Amino acid sequence: MSSNNNNNEELNKPAASSQSKRSTSTTNDTATTTTTKPSPQSSTQPKMGAAKPSPTSAASTVSTTAAAAKPSAAAPPAKTQPEPPPFEKGLVEQIRGNFGDLVKVVFIKPLRIKLLVEPLDIVRVASFLRDSIGFDHAESVGGTDYPKDNEIEVIYHLGSDSREELAAHILWLTTRTDRDDARLPTLINVYKSVEYHERECYEMLGVYFEGHPRNERFLLPEDWADIPPLRKDFRIKGR
């Protein structure tokens, strides 16, 4: 009996060992299958080589779009000249009513008017200003050299002692002459006070006043041999 029992036990051992191996093998196969199964997260990852949007490019696109959408700045409004004072405007209308386009209005400001006329018309306009408007004397005469225009402008500053409402006003009566042959009609027969002022313009700017009795120097030396010193191309020697 003892021998049979031992034999039975020996016979049962291999069977148990075989079952254990099959169980282990099955477990290993299951584990292997489980570890090689693709992860659910891998299906949501982008494929290799797909271009990702650049943060810089996105910002640039937004900036460009915003710039395009932004309205352009409105152009500044054009400057408008202030309305001339009524009194001065009335004087100019009276002058132009008599001479029309022969008189060019350079500006009209409070207490100041500037007119430009041709040399051939200056005596006639000056006589009208004296006799009809009331600008009865010339306070001064000056000149400006314009080399780029090849012209010299002479300015008569006219005032009034006869009309109280014109007492504070100055009217600039101006004309221009060729710089290379600077000649203008004198106003000495209209305003006696221009005698020395026109002589100064002759001496300092080289403008010869036709009809003036004394186109001669009285400020510069008699032996002055240079160009008139108030012309813009005059240079002091040695500087």
pLDDT in tens, 57-110: 555 554 555 555 555 566 777 677 788 999 999 999 999 999 999 999 999 999
Q: What is the DSSP letter of 132?
A: I
* Rounded average pLDDT over 224-239: 86
* Rounded average pLDDT over 182-197: 97
166 domain-assigned? yes
| CA Rg value for the chain | 53
170 has a pLDDT exceeding 60 = yes
Total count of domains within the chain:
1
pLDDT of residue 58: 52
203 domain-assigned? no
Nearest to 154 by CA among 121, 117, 103: 117
* Rounded average pLDDT over 30-40: 45
pTM: 0.67
32 has a pLDDT exceeding 80 = no
CATH no. for residue 150?
A: 3.30.460.80
On average, the pLDDT of the chain sits at 80
* Rounded average pLDDT over 123-143: 97
* 205 against 82, higher pLDDT: 205
The boundaries of the domain holding residue 121 are: 86-185
218 domain-assigned? no
